[in-house]
A and B are shown apart, each in its own frame.
Chain A
Amino acid sequence: KAGVTQTPRYLIKTRGQQVTLSCSPISGHRSVSWYQQTPGQGLQFLFEYFSETQRNKGNFPGRFSGRQFSNSRSEMNVSTLELGDSALYLCASSLGLGIRYEQYFGPGTRLTVT
């Protein structure tokens, strides 16, 4: 079974631009969660999608948004990029909603904002 894939793996953007990251979950998984990892803040939960609906959201500004498609693939968008958005963005998929279902992480997208 193929694992969680994320594209692109690396990205360099300029302040003020916007970016879209993509996540393809494991086949059959209906939940996709997104996380931001930075050296200073560690791993932080962004949001979780299940059946195309956002079910849970972390404490991030509205510049961070996402969506999920009918095939469970998910995209995350960050608008008006700031230097502090430089991070590793991880997505994870699971069979069900919530952390009590085992989550399988992708390798992440490394975003650098200059």
Chain B
Amino acid sequence: DQQVKQNSPSLSVQEGRISILNCDYTNSMFDYFLWYKKYPAEGPTFLISISSIKDKNEDGRFTVFLNKSAKHLSLHIVPSQPGDSAVYFCAASDKTSYDKVIFGPGTSLSVIP
């Protein structure tokens, strides 16, 4: 069973507009969440994280929102740039499982110039 879900395999957005990538989880013990970006032929790159004690974390053009009651998080990219075209992975972990990390299947974002 998938504990971390990214239900949109792909997303296309116009340059300059907002990109919203969604992630749902089932394990209520998850207390730390991360987003990674991956370009082809490269390893993932850490983007941003959020602890369950917060509901929002911002870093430049990237903002992650966490809705614990809905077990949902989202990554907002504003404004979107062509260089943001990549696969985005949501990941989650919980301290009680020694921080074993579970990744979602990824969403492929295409930013159209």
Complex interface bits, A83-111 against B, C-beta within 8 A gives 1, otherwise 0: 00000001010000111101111111000
Please count how many residues in chain B sit with their CB below 8 Å of the partner chain's CB atoms. Answer: 21
CB pair B100 A90 closer than 8 Å: no
Q: Which of B81-98 contact A (CB under 8 A)?
A: 89, 91, 93, 98
CB pair B93 A99 closer than 8 Å: yes
Interface contact tally, CB-CB below 8 A: 52
Given A42-B106, A43-B89, check contact A99 B99 (CB 8 Å): yes
Any chain B CB within 8 A of the CB of A64? no
Q: Across the interface, which residues of B come within 8 angstroms of A92, CB to CB?
A: 43-44
Q: How far is the CB of B3 from chain A (nearest CB, A)?
A: 11
Name B's A-contacting residues (CB within 8 A).
32, 34, 41-46, 49, 89, 91, 93, 98-106
Q: Report 24 cross-chain contacts, Cβ distance below 8 Å, ordered by A residue.
A: A4-B43, A35-B103, A42-B89, A42-B103, A42-B105, A42-B106, A43-B44, A43-B89, A43-B106, A45-B102, A45-B103, A55-B98, A56-B100, A58-B100, A90-B44, A99-B91, A99-B93, A99-B101, A100-B32, A105-B42, A105-B44, A107-B42, A107-B43, A108-B43
